[in-house]
A and B are shown apart, each in its own frame.
Chain A
Amino acid sequence: MATTTTDDVLGYDEALTTFDPVMGLEVHVELGTRTKMFCGCATEFGAEPNTQVCPVCLGLPGALPVVNEIGVESAIRMGLALNCSIAQWCRFARKNYFYPDMPKNFQTSQYDEPIAFDGYLDVEIPAATGEGTEIFRVEIERAHMEEDTGKSLHVGGATGRIQGAEYSLVDFNRAGIPLIEIVTRPIAGAGERAPEVAKAFVGALRDLLRSLEVSDLKMEQGSMRCDVNLSLRAKAGDDPTSPEQLAVPLGTRSETKNVNSLRSVERAVRYEVCRHAAVLTSGGSVLQETRHWHEDTGVTTSGREKSDADDYRYFPEPDLVPVAPSREWVEELRSALPEPPALRRKRLLGEWGFSGLEMRDVINAGAIELIEATVAAGAKAQSARKWWLAEPSRRANTEGVDLATYAEQVGITPEHVAELESLIVAGRLNDKMARQVLEGVLDGEGAPTVVADARGLELVQDDGALEAAVDTVIAANPDVADKIRGGKVQAAGALIGQVMKEMKGQADADKARAIILTKLGVEG
């Protein structure tokens, strides 16, 4: 029976004094194929309900599935990127259960013959010593292909859940969209860092799959969904990776469904550790059940009880022929895989010469690809970093979108930033003017040269005008001029400021400085 009562929880640190957490993560990724897994219907997100449907994905009598080759290719590429073996021969299987939003009342999935199996993903987590980072290896049990179900909308209840609803509406647009389910082996040995490992794994998986361009991976739209399995076992010493600890049998697990953001993954693991610990320390036993995650309150509540007696009556799907990817094809796909994001980062860090801190900011801002393209367009790496992480990044944050999305929205390109940089190098713009030009580009006024022209932003190249301005300023500030003549060269800054003011900002500061010093008989 479902309950919404608040469960008791133990403090996290307290829980970890007695228990060792073990996790299992299941991640569903919706593929970005143009058509569904077993029919030709479109997959566009957000279409009017039940407009992207046909006899096949509605499960009409007599309709038959046909496998989407691009879906299989994406699955193989994902498997390869996760260091998996690729099945030489495998079949789809029917997972039989009744649910109103599942048109055939079976899901076409894979059972004991997944397309990819036995892989791993290395993820970076804060080091146990507290300094720097270290690599934690998460083993992948399998990645298999399946189809999504339709979507139910429960109307009339307070919670939007089926309990208490007056009626339900079903949208079958999602039914048949290709999904890849990635299942980890039990993740043990993380100890107190289990929540960080879970978050790092989902984040690294997202980056990896993003580099493959197989999915848009928008967790908020449900194109990447995560289920968190968690159990606790008795702690056997301080080292969570010790043989003694790993030999302790696993406890009963809970399965928290649909945890749909990186931060929530971390919070859900943490919450379940605390909840299990409270149950176990009070002498109770953990129920094997599915739990619902509540993003707003940060807690899980009981869903339905689940037991090993759940019987999906799997059997090989007789309407589809086996999938038998040739080894040549698999190798071809393997050789065409993009560089893994972690390696790429390491390489770029070396090439760009950023500090660790700078690189972290770049990663957090999601600016790697933009900087890489800007460098390719001719800019220096440091300049590219500086410009992307300034105004564009700030505005993207304000808008609440990632940098790449923001850039696409306002139409600023890596070529624009490289152009901006080249205007500075050519001496046409100074730093301050460049910032104004950049704002113009972000405001949609056009390419940097166009903006500079339109706004009349250009350093004065006429040395005569500059010399006249310097003369005026020296004459107006005899005290400062004397100090400089006396060797206090740093005092030139005050005069440069005045010259800039005189020139309405359109002077080249370096040049002004040189002229001032020459005129006062001091060599810079």
Chain B
Amino acid sequence: MTSHATISIEPVGVRWQSMLPPLAVLALAGLGLLSSDYVVTVLGFAFIYAIFCTGLNFFMGYTGQASFGQSAFAAIGGYGSAILCADYGWEPLLALLFTMAISGVAAVFVGYPTLRLRGHYLAMATFALGLIVYEISIEWTSLTQGYMGYSGVPPLGIAGFDLVTVKQQLVALAVVALFGVFVAARLRQSRFGRALASIAGSEPAARALGVDIARYKLIAFVIGALYASAAGSLFAHFVGFISPEVFGVTMVVQSFAMLYLGGIGTMWGPTIGAVIVSVLPEALRGLKEMQDIAYTAILIFILIFAPRGLAGLSALFKRDRAQTREGA
């Protein structure tokens, strides 16, 4: 299934408009610092998902492929960090980097045969990957402790300095999320990014231009896995506990909602989607049992009126302004 992602033609270069999203992220983090631990927790999860979705956007948005299995790499990152830190006393940052490397290698081994598939077959294969890792996390109790979960995962820390409070961790998560988007933006504007865009547009055309499609797809898949692994590790450190439910189908559904709501194929769409999908249910919490209905109704409303996601709205307004000028 080739997703119908449209790579938006966002302007390259530093203009004042391009500074708005990172400033918004920093403002959100600042708001969190002035708020209760509840708000901090919601924003923390939003930033973790922003990292996850930014990686997923590489494969689904920039490359136009479908993957339902990124949660598998988040599970590798989460369990890897939990086990290495809680049982073997590793430094959280070292464990995070190490599990990213493990996830990257796993993505190469899995991706090499899997990415030969296309369309629905690729979607099914990646979905199976997610389910397999989920089952392993339940059944391999000697390693993962199954549904009992892994407790006592230490908070994030660097060189012996632990980020003990959730507010300190929120700052770290905001910085990592911004760094993740920055790296994604740089890669997207590179030769490599243009190759991915050509694959998303038309594989035969890209092949005719000399793009090694299998290789580029694999690299995009591995990059997505690295981001997912980092998100899984950060989740484990942020909450201090992980269990298989965290990396189940809910994670896949939620990340897809974030990606499409924010704007698949756009630079800031995943972050915008992650923040909206994380914050919106909390804003509707007062509705009690009607919360889920109101939440999904709003999501549907947004997707109807902003089918290219919220990040695509700016392009829409620009086009309207241009048409008005032409008309004048």
Are A and B bound to each other?
no
Residues of A in contact with B (beta carbons under 8 Å apart): none
Residues of B in contact with A (beta carbons under 8 Å apart): none
